[in-house]
Amino acid sequence: MHIGIITCEILRREIKEAVERTGVDKVFFVLPETSNPAINALSRRVNKRFLSELAKDNVNIEIKEKTIEKIEMEIREGGIGNSVIIEVMELRMHDCPDKLLAGIENGIKKMSAFVNCVLLGYGLCGSTASKIERVIRKAKVPVAIPRDRKGEILNNCIEIALGRERVQELLREEPGTFFMTPAGASIIKEPQVILESSIGIMAGRMNRSAAADTPRIIKLMRNHYRKVVKICYSEADEGDREYSKTVENFAKEFSLEIRIEHGSSKIMIEALEKTEFIFSSK
């Protein structure tokens, strides 16, 4: 079987564990279909960060980077039976939810020609449930996306890591709570940039004007944030000095209390397992 994955880079830990769950030994990363060297270089940098996570403890996995067309050709001509095809989309796409949704829809359409199902490494991310459900219904193959216990699509990567119920509990305890993940902290280290990169989601905005409102929202949030939640998936995350330093700098910048919460890839794996196409090894 062939599984397509369209994801945000922030969820690379969850996607890594989902890929491990499939038991495949061939993984393709999608390169853009363009001759523009700048776009190709950017895509390769994003893929490199993502595959460095995937390669940890997975020495037997064969990883290649190709365009969708060349991936499909290799699978068909090489008689490859099982594979995972990963398209990592540009960070901060939630600032332009309509563009993000179009990108997801286009990715599903292209992958549907040769994959058995598609896993989305996204929540609502600024869009609406009705728009995303429409894209899922139109797909020619089963499309999985992280959902809560009621079957509703989760809002963002934080709910995917902690679960909607836990996020709501933490926000009830302290509405002025910011959440940080190891992947997010490793990509964006400066406190101001971290806040700007997440402000569209934290402010609950649903259109591309969210980014333009960032300076005003930052000023408001500076007065209302009280806590930063440091999400750790393992003891290694808790002991990671670079991660700790980034969180500590962010907390110092905005005078925040630091709290550790343990994240999990369970929700992402459950989303994959709910599709009808599951590898026979499971």
Q: pLDDT for 201-255, tens place per residue?
A: 444 444 444 444 556 656 666 677 899 999 999 999 999 999 999 999 888 888 8
As annotated, the residues of the chain forming the CATH 3.40.50 domain(s) are 2-154+265-273
Looking at per-residue pLDDT, the higher value among 103 and 197 belongs to: 103
Q: For residue 68, is pLDDT > 70?
A: yes
CA distances from 30 to 27, 81, 99, 167 (A): 10, 18, 18, 32
Q: Considering the chain, what percentage of its residues have pLDDT values greater than 90?
A: 53
Dist. CA 227–CA 217, nearest whole Å:
17
Q: Considering the chain, what percentage of its residues have pLDDT values greater than 70?
A: 83
Q: For residue 263, is pLDDT > 60?
A: yes
Q: Give all strands of the β-sheet with 177-180 in edge-to-edge order.
A: 177-180, 227-232, 257-262
Tracing tokens 């769950």 back to the chain, one arrives at 21
Position 188 scores a pLDDT of 64
| Inter-residue long-range contacts of 146-151, CB under 8 Å, 24+ positions, other chains counted | 146/120, 146/122, 146/267, 146/268, 146/270, 146/271, 147/267, 147/271
Q: For residue 131, is pLDDT > 70?
A: yes
Q: For residue 30, is pLDDT > 70?
A: yes
77-104 tens-digit pLDDT: 999 999 999 999 877 666 678 888 999 9
Burial of residue 210, with CB atoms counted within 10 A of its CB: 0-12 exposed, 13-18 middle, 19 or more buried: buried
Looking at per-residue pLDDT, the higher value among 234 and 194 belongs to: 234
Is the four-CA dihedral 45, 51, 53, 56 of positive or negative sign? negative
Lowest mean pLDDT among 17-21, 152-156, 205-209: 205-209
From the centroid of its chain, how far is CA 80? 27
- Indicate the fold that domain 2-154+265-273 takes in CATH: Rossmann fold (3.40.50)
* Mean pLDDT to the nearest integer, 152-168: 94
